[in-house]
A and B are shown apart, each in its own frame.
Chain A
Amino acid sequence: MHFVKTELRAAAIAAALTASLGLAAAPAEAKVDGDTIILGSAISLTGKYSTNGIHAQNGYELGVKMINDNGGVTVGGKSYKFKVVYYDDESTPARGAQLAERLINQDGVKYMLGPYSSGLTKAIAPVTEKYKIPMVEAEGASRSLFTQGYRYLFAVLSTSEQYLASSIALAAEIAEQNGKKASDVKVAMAFENDPFSLDVRAGVVEDAAKYDMKIVIDDKLPRDLSDMTSTLTKVKALKPDLLVVSGHSKGAATAGRQISELKISTPMIAMTHCEAAKVVEKYGADAMEGLLCPTQWAETLSYKDDLFGTAAEYDALFKKTFEGYKTVPYQSAQATAAVMVWKDAFERANSFDTEALRDAIADTNMTTFYGGIKFSPEGNNIAKPMVLRQIQDGEYKVVAPVKWASSKARHPRQPKY
C-alpha cells in the first residue's frame, strides 16, 4: 500500500513537472486566432533588466497599435491584427528559455519577438531554433549570437562590435585634421568583462589595428564594478588621446562619476550607455561636456517610413502614448522596428507557414523610421550603422557618421570640473 502511494505521488510530481516545463502535448497549428496573429515574447518585466524590458515592451505595443490602427496585416487578401503574448522572464536566462518552450509548446505561438539583452537572447535562441520558430529580436546585440549558425534568429539592431568603432574612426579623422598621423593616437580601453562589452572591445581593437593605433591600457572591469580609481589613475599617468569605456548603465554611471571626480583630462572619451545611465542628469552638463556616446537610433536622424513618418514623429508619438518619457530610449524604437519586420514578412510571404515566413524575413529589405533593415546570412542587420552622439551643453548631438550629423564634434572636450 505504501509502495502504491509513493508511486502515485511520484507520478503526480512527474506530471506536474512535465506540465510546468511545457513538455505536455501542445497544439501544432500556427497561432492565428480568427483575425488575430499571435506573437510571443518572454521579456524582463521584473528583475535587473526590467527597466529596459519595459522600454522594449512599450516599443512592441506601439508597433502593434499603429499597425492594427492602420489596416493591420494583409495575408491572403484578408486583414489580420497583431497581438503579443508576454511572459515575464524575471531577467533570468533559464526562466527565459523555459518560457520560450511554454510559448511554443503550450500556447502554440509560432512567431516570436525577442527578449531584452544578449544574455536572454542567447538562452532563448536555441529553443526557437530547435522548434524552427522564426524570432525577430531587437535587444540582443552580441556578435556571438550571429556566429552560431542560427537560421531562425534575426536582429534589427547593429551588433555590439560596432558600438564604439566609430569613435576610433573619428579620432583618426581629428588627428589627421590636426596634422598628426592616425597611428600617433594612443587609446586606453576599459571594458566590463561580459559578452556584450567584450564584443564592443573586439570592434575597437580591430579598428585601432586598422589605423595602427597604440593601445596603452586594456583593462577589463569586473561585473559588479563600483570603483575604477586604479584604471583612471593609469589614464592620468599615461595620458591617452582617446579613452573608451563600456559596461552597461552601471559602468557608465561609475565612469561618469569618477571621470568627473578625478578630473580626467583625456581629450576624447567615448562610452556606451550614457543616456541609460542618465550621466548628464546625475553629474551635470558641465562635467559631462564632450563625452561621446554611441546609440542605435536618435530622433534627430533623417530616417522615415510610411507608418510612423520620420524618426522625430515616432519620438513625438511615443512620448504622447507613454507617460513619463523625456527622451525615447533606442530600445523602444528598435522593438517597434521588429514588429514592423513581422508585418512586412507576413505580407510578402502571404502565408502563415513558418518556413515561408523565415525566408521572407531573411529577404527583408526595408526602410523604417529606425533606419534600414536588411539581414546578413547570419541574421544581423547590415543596413544601419551605429550613430555617435556627443554631449554638447547638456544635449546629445549626433556628430558621426557625418552624413547624419546634426553638429560638428567638439575636440578636445572641455568639461568644467
Chain B
Amino acid sequence: MLDNISILFQAPIFAVDLLVQGLLIGGIFVLAAYGLALVWGVMNVKNLAQGDMVILGGYVAYQCTLWGMHPIIALPIAFMLLFALGWGIYATIIRRVVDRDMFTSLLATFGLSLLIQQALNLRFGPEVKIAESGFGTLDFGDLTIPAIRFVGLGLAAVLAVGLVLFMRNSRMGQAIRATAQDPRAARVLGINTDRVYAFTYALNAAICGAAGVLVAMIWNIQPFYGIVHSIRAFIIVTAAGLGNLPGVVVAGFGLGVWENYSGFIFGAEFAVAAVVIVLVLVLMVRLFQMYRVRQVVR
C-alpha cells in the first residue's frame, strides 16, 4: 500500500490520471443516482431494479449497433423506450406498492430486477457485450484517456442540466416537487398525484436508459451487471442526503474519484469495500447530527 502511495508522489501524472478518469466516470454514476433520488424522494419507493434499467438501456445501444447504427443515436431511443416501459411498469406493478411498507416495494422491485435480468439473458445470452463508439483515445503527454469518457461526461451533463431545468420550469416538474413535499396537500390542490408518480417513475427509467447507453459505450454490459449500478446509486443518494440533488452530483463525482484512488492504493479488490466504508462513515456522521438536533429540541 505504501509503495502505491509513493508512486503517486514520484509520478504525479498518475495521480492526475486517476483524478481525471474518476471525474469522468462520476458523471455517469450521477445520472442513475439522480433518477433514484427522484423515485425515492417523490414516491418513497426504493427501486432495486435501478441498475437493471441502466443495463437495459445499454442493451438498447447494443441492439442499435447490431442494426448498423452508431450507439450515440441510441441515447434518445433508449430514453423514449424506457420512458414508455417505466410508465408500463408503474401502471402494472409500482402503482400497487407506492403506499405500502418499505419491504413490499423492495420485494416488488427485486422481482422486477430478476425479470429484467432473465429477459435480457434470454434475448442476448450471458456473454459480455459492448457498444463500440470508435472515438479512439486522447493523449496528453503520459495521460491517455478514451475520448468516449469525455463524450459520456458531456452528454451526462447535458441530460442533468435539462432535467434540472425541467423540474424547475415545467408544470409537471413543479407538480413533482409539490407531490414530493406533501402528496396529500398536492391532491387537495388538484394535482393528479397518480399521474405524477407514473411520470416520475417513467422519467427515472428514461434517465437510467440514457445512462445505460453511456455505460455500454464506456464499459461492458452483461445481464447480471445491474447490481453494481444499483449499489452505486444507493450509496450516492444516501451519502448526498435524500432530496439533495446538488449533493447527488458531488457524491457521484466523489465516488468515481474515490473508487479509482482506492483501487490504485489498496488494490482493485478493496475499491468497492472502500466505497462502502465511506458510506458507513457518512451514515454515522448523519446519525450523530440527528442526535444533536434532537437534544436541542428537548
Task: Spell out A's residues near B (CB within 8 Å).
Answer: 46-51, 91, 190, 193, 218-222, 224-231, 233-234, 236-238, 249-250, 253-254, 257, 261-263, 277-278, 282-283, 417
Give the number of chain B interface residues (Cβ < 8 Å). Answer: 40
Of the listed residues A51, A228, A261, the one surrounded by the most CB atoms of chain B closer than 10 A to its CB is: A261
- State whether A262 and B128 are in contact (beta carbons under 8 Å apart), knowing that A229-B263, A231-B268, A237-B11 are contacts in the complex: no
List B residues 13-43 near A (Cβ within 8 Å).
14, 17-18, 21, 25
Contact B267 A250 (CB under 8 A): no
Binding site secondary structure of chain A: mixed
Chain A residues with CB under 8 Å of B224's CB are 48, 224
Our pick among A225, A253, A277, A283 for the contact of B268 (Cβ within 8 Å) is: A225
15 additional A-B pairs beyond A226-B220, A237-B14, beta carbons within 8 Å, are A219-B268, A221-B269, A230-B259, A230-B261, A233-B18, A233-B21, A237-B7, A249-B127, A250-B128, A250-B222, A254-B128, A261-B137, A277-B127, A278-B127, A283-B132
Q: How far is the CA of A261 from the CA of B127 in the complex (A)?
A: 21
Given the interface pairs A233-B17, A234-B7, the reply to whether A253 lies near B220 with Cβ below 8 Å is: yes
In the bound assembly, the distance between CA atoms of A238 and B14 in angstroms comes to 11
Q: Find B126's partner among A51, A218, A229, A282 (CB 8 Å cutoff).
A: A51
Contact with A along B253-285 (1 / 0, CB 8 A): 000000111111001110110000000000000
On whether the beta carbons of B126 and A49 are closer than 8 Å, the reply is: yes
Contact check, A193 vs B220: say whether CB atoms are below 8 A apart: no
Give Cα A286 to B219, complex, Å: 20
Binding site for A on B (CB under 8 A): 4, 7, 11, 14, 17-18, 21, 25, 121-122, 125-128, 130, 132, 137, 139, 142, 144, 146, 219-220, 222-225, 227-228, 259-264, 267-269, 271-272
Write the chain A residue with the least CB distance to B24: A229
Known: A220-B269, A222-B268, A254-B220. A229 touches B260 (CB 8 A): yes
Contacts of A417 in B (CB 8 A): 137
CB distance from A247 to the nearest CB of B (A): 10
Once A219-B269, A417-B137 are accepted as A-B contacts, the answer to whether A224 and B227 lie under 8 Å apart by CB is yes
Report the Cα distance A278→B127, complex, angstroms: 10
Known A50-B125, A220-B268: A282·B130 in contact at CB below 8 Å = yes
Is the CB–CB distance between A222 and B144 below 8 Å? no
Closest A-chain residue to B228, C-beta based? A224
Residues of B within 8 A of A50 (CB): 121, 125-126
- Give the docked Cα–Cα distance between A47 and B118 (Å): 8
